[in-house]
C-alpha cells in the first residue's frame, strides 16, 4: 500500500549482491525515483537498463518444465544478437548496417542467409477451400529463385527463376498452376511456349537484332482492326522514314507503295553489277536452296524441381558443294558444339533462274532488276529481287523517245524500247507512267516510272 508522499521524495533503492545494505558489496540492481530499473548500472536512463562490462552482455529467457526452451539476447560491439540455446546457434543479429537473419554480418538493411535453400514462407491459416499457402520466396535446393503458391487458382500469379549458381538462367511466370510466359537465358520473351523454336506454337520476341516469331496452327496469325474510322492498318519504315503502308477505306484494303518482286539468281551464282531497271528473262532452271537440319536436346528443371527434356529442331542455310548431296550427314558447329546435321532441300515451285534479256521482243520477260538480296548473300546465295508487278522504274535504251502510256518491250540488251503499236502482246511487259527521268546511266540509258505486268 503506497503512502501520500511525493514520488520525487522516494529514495533510490540499491540492491547489492549480498543483500539490501548500503554498506554491502557492488550494486547489482538500482531503482531510481523515475521508476527506472538498472541492472549493472546505478544510473539507469530507460525503464529497464542492463549494462555489463563483459564481452557479451546477455539477457536469457528460459521456459522450464516439460518443454524447456532457452533464448539469449546479447549486446556486443558487433550488434544485438538473438540466439536459440536449445539449437545452440545464433538466429538473428541487429547491427548498424541492418538486420541479419542467419548471418551475424548483414551487408544491407535486411540480409537473409541459409546454408541450403534460403526462403521466406507466407502461410494463410484461415482455412476453407479458398485458403492459399504461399510456400516459398527464395532459393530452393537447386538454386532456383521461386515465388509461388501451393494452391494456385483464380488467376493467381506464380514466378520462378531457375538459377545455376548465382546466374539466373530463365524467368517463368505462371497462372492457374500452368506456365504462361518465360524469359530465357538469351533474353527472349516466350509467350505460350517454352523454347524459341520457330515452329513451336506461341510467340517469341527475340532479344537484340533477332526477328520475332509468331506461330499458329489452325487459327489466324495476326488480326489487325480499325474500330470504325478509315486509315492505315500497317505502316512500313526504314531509318524512321515511312516507305509504305496497308490501309483500309470503306470496304477496300490498299497496299500502298507496292512493288511485287520475285527471287531469282544467275546460273553460276555470280554477283555482277546490274543496273536497276535492267530487263531480265526467265530460264528453264529452278532455284535451289538447301538447309542443314539437326536436333538439340536440353534438360531443364520445372517448378517442382523435376527434370524436363526438350528437343528442338534447327535449320540453317547451306550452300551445296560439288561433293555433297541431299540426305548427306555432315558436322556442323552449333554455338560452340559440334552436331550431326542432315542436308535437306527446300521445296519451291515458282522461282526460276534468269538472265539479262538478250532477245528482242522477248516473250519470257520476268521483270526488271531491283537489287541483290543481301541477307541471302550472307548465307552463300547471290539471289536478287526481280520487280514483276506494280509500279517501279524501267531502264529505257539510250536515245529512245517515250510518251506516257507507251507499252514497252525488250530491246535485247537489258534495256526496254517503245512498242510500235498499242496492242497488248505477250512481249508487252510494262507501260510508261511518266516521262520524268529518275536517273541517267553512263551508257545513256535512263530510268522512268512504269507499271509492270509481267
Q: Per residue in 41-75, pLDDT tens?
A: 888 888 888 877 665 567 777 777 666 667 778 77
**Cβ atoms 70, 91 nearer than 8 A:** no
Long-range contacts for 327-333 (Cβ within 8 Å, ≥24 apart)? 330/292, 332/292, 332/294
Burial 173-198 (b: 16+ CB within 10 A, else e): ebeeeebebbbbeeebbbeebbbbbe
Q: What's the pLDDT at 185?
A: 80
As given in the structure block, the three cell numbers for residue 356 are: 539479262
Residue 298: CB partners within 8 Å, gap ≥ 6? 309, 310, 312
Instruction: Classify burial at 203, counting beta carbons within 10 Å of its beta carbon; exposed 0-12, middle 13-18, buried 19 or more.
Output: middle
Instruction: Tally DSSP H helices, then E strands, for the chain.
Output: 1, 37
Q: What's the pLDDT at 84?
A: 76
Q: What's the pLDDT at 310?
A: 79
Q: What's the pLDDT at 250?
A: 93
Residue 161: CB partners within 8 Å, gap ≥ 6? 144, 145, 146, 168, 169, 170, 171, 172
**Cβ atoms 255, 246 nearer than 8 A:** yes
C-alpha span between 146 and 141 (Å, rounded): 11
Q: What's the pLDDT at 19?
A: 44
Q: What's the pLDDT at 23?
A: 47
Q: Per residue in 1-47, pLDDT tens?
A: 344 445 455 556 666 655 444 445 567 788 888 888 888 888 888 88
Pairing relationship of beta strands 416-418 and 252-256 according to DSSP bridges: unpaired
**Cβ atoms 346, 300 nearer than 8 A:** no
Low-confidence ranges of the chain (pLDDT < 70): 1-26, 53-57, 65-69, 85-88, 116-168, 177, 301-305, 377
Amino acid at each position: 500500500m503506497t503512502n501520500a508522499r511525493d514520488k520525487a521524495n522516494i529514495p533510490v533503492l540499491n540492491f547489492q549482491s549480498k543483500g539490501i545494505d548500503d554498506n554491502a558489496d557492488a550494486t547489482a540492481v538500482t531503482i531510481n525515483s523515475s521508476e527506472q530499473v538498472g541492472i549493472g548500472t546505478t544510473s539507469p536512463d530507460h525503464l529497464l537498463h542492463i549494462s555489463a562490462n563483459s564481452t557479451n552482455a546477455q539477457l536469457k529467457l528460459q521456459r522450464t518444465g516439460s518443454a524447456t526452451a532457452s533464448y539469449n539476447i546479447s549486446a556486443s560491439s558487433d550488434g544485438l544478437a538473438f540466439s536459440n540455446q536449445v539449437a545452440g546457434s545464433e538466429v538473428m543479429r541487429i547491427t548498424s548496417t541492418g538486420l541479419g537473419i542467419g548471418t551475424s554480418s548483414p551487408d544491407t538493411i535486411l540480409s537473409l542467409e541459409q546454408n541450403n535453400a534460403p526462403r521466406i514462407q507466407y502461410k494463410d491459416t484461415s482455412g476453407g477451400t479458398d485458403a492459399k499457402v504461399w510456400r516459398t520466396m527464395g532459393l530452393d535446393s537447386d538454386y532456383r529463385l521461386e515465388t509461388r503458391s501451393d494452391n494456385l487458382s483464380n488467376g493467381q500469379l506464380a514466378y520462378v527463376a531457375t538459377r545455376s549458381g548465382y546466374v539466373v538462367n530463365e524467368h517463368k511466370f505462371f497462372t492457374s498452376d500452368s506456365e504462361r510466359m518465360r524469359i530465357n537465358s538469351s533474353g527472349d520473351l516466350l509467350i505460350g511456349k517454352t523454347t524459341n523454336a520457330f515452329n513451336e506454337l506461341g510467340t517469341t520476341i527475340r532479344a537484340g537484332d533477332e526477328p520475332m516469331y509468331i506461330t499458329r496452327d489452325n487459327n489466324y496469325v495476326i488480326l489487325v482492326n480499325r474500330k470504325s474510322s478509315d486509315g492505315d492498318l500497317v505502316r512500313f519504315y526504314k531509318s524512321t522514314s515511312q516507305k509504305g503502308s496497308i490501309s483500309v477505306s470503306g470496304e477496300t484494303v490498299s497496299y500502298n507503295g507496292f512493288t511485287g518482286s520475285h527471287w531469282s539468281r544467275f546460273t553460276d551464282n555470280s554477283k555482277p553489277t546490274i543496273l536497276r531497271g535492267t530487263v531480265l528473262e526467265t530460264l528453264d532452271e529452278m532455284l535451289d536452296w538447301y538447309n542443314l537440319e539437326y536436333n538439340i536436346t536440353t534438360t531443364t528443371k520445372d517448378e517442382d524441381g523435376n527434370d524436363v527434356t526438350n528437343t528442338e529442331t534447327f535449320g540453317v542455310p547451306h550452300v551445296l558443294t560439288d561433293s555433297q548431296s541431299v540426305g548427306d550427314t555432315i558436322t556442323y558447329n552449333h554455338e560452340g558444339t559440334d552436331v550431326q546435321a542432315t542436308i535437306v532441300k527446300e521445296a519451291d515451285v515458282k522461282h526460276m533462274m534468269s538472265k539479262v534479256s538478250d532477245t528482242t521482243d522477248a516473250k519470257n520477260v520476268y521483270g526488271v532488276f531491283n537489287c541483290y538480296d543481301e541477307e541471302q548473300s550472307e548465307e552463300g546465295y547471290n539471289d536478287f529481287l526481280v520487280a514483276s508487278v506494280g509500279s517501279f522504274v524501267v531502264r529505257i535504251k539510250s536515245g529512245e523517245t517515250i510518251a506516257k502510256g507507251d507499252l514497252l518491250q525488250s530491246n535485247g540488251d537489258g534495256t526496254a524500247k517503245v512498242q510500235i503499236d498499242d496492242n497488248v502482246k505477250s512481249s508487252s511487259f510494262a507501260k510508261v507512267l511518266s516521262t520524268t527521268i529518275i536517273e541517267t546511266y553512263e551508257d545513256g540509258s535512263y530510268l522512268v516510272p512504269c507499271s509492270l505486268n509481267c
